[in-house]
Amino acid sequence: MRFLTYFILCALSLVMASCKVSYGFTGASIPAGTQTFQVNYFQNNAPLVEPGLDRDFTLALQDLILNQTSLDLVNSGGDLVYEGEITEYRISPTTATSDNKAAQNRLTIGVNVRFYDRNNPEGDLEQRFSFFYDYPAAAQLIGSTRDTAFEEIFERLTQDIFNATLAKW
């Protein structure tokens, strides 16, 4: 029994070592030879511009990739390149009260992402991602409400981008 277990472990390690793609616990499939990534500044081209949103989103995407992969962040010449623009920043009412006033508002942020894999051009991608956060109409989108909204939206957007580019979901 012990021999069989040892044999299975050896066979499994040989199979994993021979793969051209490495898999991690995050679900990322990083092609062999890929060591670096860069995230170019995401310009805010939305009709309604929120100051600092572009910087905060760019940093959130960099942080997620750093935390979920072993890739190194570089300023130029990365094996993987992320770029794009913020195309939507919109606040709209979602539900109404009996006297036709907004009971809840929705902040929607959309980004257009272009992803380039210099080692595997077939993996290149251009896609739009969008997510929202609902908050009470009586609340202003400032301070902690704004911070919570951005945190939740960025978490979802960056994870969706990661899944589409590296996890291939």
User: Please, what are the domains in the chain?
Assistant: 33-167 (3.30.160.150)
pLDDT of residue 20: 39
Q: What is the pTM of this model?
A: 0.80
pLDDT of residue 156: 98
pLDDT of residue 105: 93
Which residue ranges of the chain lie beneath pLDDT 50? 10, 12, 14-26
pLDDT of residue 28: 75
pLDDT of residue 18: 42
**Burial call 16-54: b when 16+ CB within 10 Å, e when fewer:** eeeeeeeeeebebebeeebeebbbeebebebeeebeebb
Decide the pairing of beta strands 36-39 and 80-96.
Answer: parallel
Q: How many CB atoms are located within 10 Å of the residue 118 CB?
A: 15
pLDDT of residue 169: 59
pLDDT in tens, 51-67: 999 999 999 999 999 99
pLDDT of residue 16: 47
DSSP H helices, the chain, are 2-18, 53-68, 143-162
